[in-house]
Amino acid sequence: MRTTAGLLALLLASSAAPALLAPAAQAADPAVTGSFSQPFEEAGPKCAKDAAGHTICKPAGVSAVALPDGTVLYWDGLEGMEDVRYNTVLEIGDTAQDDLSRVLDLRRATPTWSKPQPNTGGTPNAGVGDEYLPGVPHNNDRTDNDGDLFCSDQVHLADGRVLNVGGTGYYLEPGVPGVPYGLSELEGLKASRIFDTATHTWRAAKGHLSYGRWYPSLVTLPDGHVLVASGVTKLIKPMYPSHPADSGTNVKQTETFDPRTETWTANPASASRSLPLFPRLHLLPDGKVYYDAAGQTFNPDGQSYDEALWNTAAVYDPATQTWRDLGLPAFGPVLKGFRGSGFSQQLTLRAPYTKAEFLSAGGVYGVTPGTYAGTDTSTLNTVDTAAGEAFTTEATGTLNNERWYSTGVTLPTGQVLAFSGADRDEVVAPGSGTAVTQAEMYDPATKTWTALASGHKGRTYHNTAILLPDGRVLVGGHAPINTGYAFPTNDGRAALGLSDAFRDPSFEVFSPPNLFYGARPVIRDYDWSQRYGSRTEIEVGRDARDVASVVLVRNPALTHLIDGDQKVIELPITARHGDSVTVATPPSANVAPAGPYWLFVNKRTAKGLTPSVSRQVYVGAPVPPALRDDIARNNAAALRAELRDDPRERTDGRDLTSPRERTSGRGTPAQVTAASPAADRSVRPATRAVAAGSPSARVPYALLALAAAAGVATARRRSARR
Ligand SMILES: [Cu+2]
């Protein structure tokens, strides 16, 4: 499946030229179906034995984080499955190994990979051994599977760090030292790790959790603290003789992380709630946390004695540290209740930021015993924060495929895409499903799903899909449980059309239909650090009159179909000038918790909205000093490529003029509706940012200087036209 370097270069070439991405063989109109690139993966053998005889494979994208430096951090899941000889349940506690991480760099024509250090994320304060059953012998001979990143969750902190929480420790219990068979146990780690984006290194956070958590969910709170909920301490035997009240269910207690001290605080009992694994949690624009009545389950055996509670959507108030039930969501036109292994995507948040909408689709119905076949149902839940979190729910149009474990991606233009998955539950019966490779798109205007192009590779269990800063989508992953919980084999599977029994380290890049609607708008000048409740001006050249909306998209950090911080925030346009728009920044950290966001501008076309390539910005926080050079360079390179690829820019070959000159003589301050100093055009950008109390200056100086140095011809004629 490796393509030639030349083809790859073409396929991954400038995002500003999406037409290049369309494979020649694809007859369909990409403006209707979108388009997948050919798959690509790291060089080298797919798997090889190490000195100890363990199978080491190229990692698959089971978790994926879009870093603010423009690269993608990802790591694998279920490494060591390949070494199971007879039965996964009896052996994986020994054959498993700590999963490996990678950084994928798609910024140049040819993708490159590097290895973060330590590559496994290290083994900080692994909780393994804390919860052995007294009197039961165990085998924990292997120490290289006690600090696995697999089954952790992660969010961006406001300063360039990524917080990673939980994970897996493997052992056999009962088990006997020296004997590689027993009953496998997967114990949730108390680990909390920090990934430093500036150095691409992992380290332990200073504090660790009070509860070991396997499959927890994180949500960043408005004050910058991070809430962790759910996860299980022992997946197979959740029995805890030292704290028996916690037995038989997931971790109900919640904890809160302080990013300054890197320590965790246990929340009071009122903050506890029984939740599924990887609960679908989101921050509401009033600062509370919403549970979308969905998560991961293990049908038909069940997981917790109180699973019935998971059917109810709920809201958590961090101020009072209490939960409140909201109601039962629809599951198709008839049923109500819990959705397992489906995504939950927040739709575009619009001013006045009181209506939060969440789209979930696919997966399986209900808690234990649940169902086995993937569903085509899709549900829209709405929480009205102006009316005391009033909850409404409706079934939308159905998917075009029955699909389990499909990943959702909300686009800057508001549509939601669904990728990958299988037609049935591959945790209930691993290897029994057929891959669903067709992508689909939900239109919030019509509340219907449309079938799009199909990907090249089957990606059933542990797939990922994340938005990229240029508006495309990185689709990857596939790390299945061994066939029927036995050993991995593809014998006979092709004939039956069943999913691949082996992990897949490849990725594909999907270009959504909205990238094929004609020339995309170009962000030429903007604030790379935005404070709350202010105004910010974005220069877009001649496209200003066609700008329909400006949005912020939180940098993705996804695993298991959930990104607790995922949001698209539309910024109201308060003024327009000849070549720029002024927008209101988010009113508060309730709407946009401080941290990294991509700024997109959406332009009206005859076919619909087409987004710009984004610019990396920070909201409510300065651009992290250690990342400033990277971000400025990336932003400049994006602008350079966009201007170079925009035929409308190939005019007189003149260099960029200085931004100062460019800023003067445009629209007058009187055209700006707001009195905000940030909108006062009579002040030069750098001065203006300082006057506004902005923690950082505008980016264009470095950016434009770089662009000018590259000799990019630009549109001085914009001024001439005015
Ligand atoms: Cu998993």
Q: What is the pLDDT of residue 361?
A: 98
- pLDDT, tens digit, for every residue of 51-107? 999 999 999 999 999 999 999 999 999 999 999 999 999 999 999 999 999 999 999
CA of 688 to the centre of ligand 1 (A): 48
What's the 142 CA to ligand 1 centre distance in angstroms?
21
Cα separations in angstroms, 471 against 64, 581, 615, 665, 707: 16, 20, 11, 33, 21
In angstroms, what is the span from residue 432 Cα to ligand 1's centroid? 17
What is residue 125's predicted lDDT score, i.e. its pLDDT?
63
Closest CA to 186 of 131, 245, 136, 251: 131
559 alpha carbon to ligand 1 midpoint, in Å? 8
Cβ–Cβ < 8 Å for 267, 254: yes
Residue 105 Cα, ligand 1 centroid: separation in angstroms?
Answer: 25
330 CA from centroid of ligand 1 (Å): 25
Rounded to two decimals, the pTM is 0.88
Cα 447 to its chain centre, rounded Å, is: 23
pLDDT at 647: 67
In SS3 terms, 489-502 reads as CCCCHHHHCCCCCC
Complete DSSP assignment for 150-204: EEEEEEE-TTSEEEEEEEEEEEESS--TT---S-EEEEEB--EEEEETTTTEEEE
- Report CA(281)–ligand 1 centroid distance (Å): 17
For residue 431, how far is its CA from the centre of ligand 1 (angstroms)? 15
**Domain regions of the chain by residue span:** 67-272, 519-721
What's the CA-to-centroid distance between 539 and ligand 1, angstroms? 43
- DSSP bridge partners of 619: 530, 595
**Ligand 1 centroid from CA 49, angstroms:** 24
Q: What's the confidence (pLDDT) of residue 287? A: 98
Q: How far apart are CA 83 and CA 44, in angstroms?
A: 20
Q: How far, in Å, is the centroid of ligand 1 from the Cα of 560?
A: 6
Question: What tens digit of pLDDT does each residue of 200-211 get?
Answer: 999 999 999 999
Q: Which CATH number fits domain 519-721: 3.90.1070.10, 2.60.40.10, 3.40.640.10, 3.30.390.50?
A: 2.60.40.10
Angle at the Cα of 614 (from 63 to 565), degrees rounded to 5? 40
Q: How far is the CA of 349 from the centre of ligand 1 (A)?
A: 29
Q: What pLDDT is recorded for position 99?
A: 97
Q: What is the pLDDT of residue 645?
A: 79
Beta bridge partners of 551: 570, 600
Give 151 Cα–ligand 1 centroid separation in angstroms. Answer: 6
The residues of the chain scoring below 50 in pLDDT are 1-24, 651-697, 699-722
Residue 124 CA, ligand 1 centroid: distance in Å: 21
Give 226 Cα–ligand 1 centroid separation in angstroms.
22
Burial call 417-449: b when 16+ CB within 10 Å, e when fewer: bbbbbbbbbbbbebbbbbbbbbbbbbebeeeeb
Query: Taking a C-beta distance cutoff of 8 angstroms, is the pair 294, 362 a contact?
Result: no
Residue 126: its pLDDT value, please?
Answer: 58
Ligand 1 center from residue 77 Cα (angstroms): 7
